[in-house]
Amino acid sequence: MNLFRYNLGAPNFGATLVMATAVSFCFGDPAQASINDLYVVGGNNTAYVVRTNSQGVPQGVVRTIALGNCPQAARVSPDRTQVWVVNGCDATVTAINTSTYATQTFPVGTAGTNFPTFLAFSPVSNAAYVIDGNTNQVLFFDTYTHTQTGTVGVGNTPGYAAVTPNGARLYVTNYFDNSVSVVNTYSKSIITTIVLPNTNPPGTSTPPNDSVDGCSATSLESVSPPSPQGVAASADGNYVYVVNGYSANLSPCKNGGNGDIPFQQSTVNVISTWSNTIVGTVLTGGDSADFPAFSPDGSKLYVTNTGNDDYPLTTIGVLNASSRSGGPRAVITLPNGWSGPTEVDTDPDPRDNLVYVATDQNGVAAVNTLSNAVVGQVPLVDTTNGAFPTSIAVVRRW
């Protein structure tokens, strides 16, 4: 699975980047869709700006922008005037002007000490939150002055974060702690820490340790804990949805590359922001899930399933946001050569109905969310000079 967009064989945040992918969604009438710029951040330290046509279908790369070393994530400011990219190995942020494509780079720590993995913007103020996976902190920044205004410690190896719509709370996933830190963004303090369960969802069963199913005790014991990845907050602020990379061990077993292992299916934990407790667990329809995003109307949650060596099928699970158990309402399988989605970002135009998928095959594809058909594919670069996308951010041009 995509472990924070770089290799964490040991917790060394300066390690070699892993090929990764990303996704972005838009919904509505394609005949009235807006023209968008898709900022696709590459593992070769480049941002590719892909322009869509008036139907929202990507047409090609219109600009490339140099970034710092090891870009991890790209996010659009609430006013859509900037795209910020965190550069892990440099401990910097590259701020891109979405009108002129001019850049400004500023530090968010010290290279070798800090390793930023993700960022989020407050929707109601001039605050930005940079997640530092090396020091286990959230770094608070002023978006006007690009200066740091505070820090707060979180769990072990934080990777992703989501802000509630009122800007009051930040939910941070901690990979090795299998937990979520809830941060008060005003006091810059921890409200609570939510521990994620290492159990199957209700209504599912762990494969028995017998010769019929083929699962050995060793294989069952060696399955990874939840390993939380991306997180998204609902539009009403009442719930956050945490994607777990490895969570459910379901029958039947399958002989994978590492021997007989139980079929693993990732889950999403639904957390009430009122009680900060888990109120539901939903299967994603695939393995090694990575990142969630809502449709503009908030009724659906799209989750990317990256697959692994034993279960290489890569899919997008489409979940009902109101579901608290069971599985996805649909599963989108990408065609050969365009597989491996990992990250999701929602187009702000509610008229659009396309999913933008950046894949580890160095391309961007558009998927119609009504038919689940691929309606457009564009390569970023030739295959000899891999872009290896790690993140995507969508800016509506007009």
Answer whether residue 3 is part of any domain: no
What does the pLDDT look like over 86-112, one tens digit per residue?
999 999 999 999 999 999 999 999 999
* Domain carrying residue 142: 22-396
Instruction: Determine if the peptide bond prior to 312 is cis (ω within 30°).
Output: no
pLDDT score at 140: 99
pLDDT score at 177: 94
CB-based contact 328:318 (threshold 8 Å): yes
- Domain total in the chain: 1
Domain of residue 86, CATH code:
2.130.10.10
Tally the residues of the chain.
398
pLDDT score at 372: 75
Most confident segment among 253-257, 266-270, 335-339 = 266-270
Answer whether residue 8 is part of any domain: no
Higher pLDDT, 35 or 17: 35
Which of 94, 75, 70 has its CA nearest to residue 12? Answer: 70
DSSP-assigned letters across all residues of 286-337: SSSEEEEEE-TTSSEEEEEE---SSS---EEEEEETT--SS--SEEEEPPTT
Answer whether residue 280 is part of any domain: yes
Answer whether residue 313 is part of any domain: yes
Answer whether residue 16 is part of any domain: no
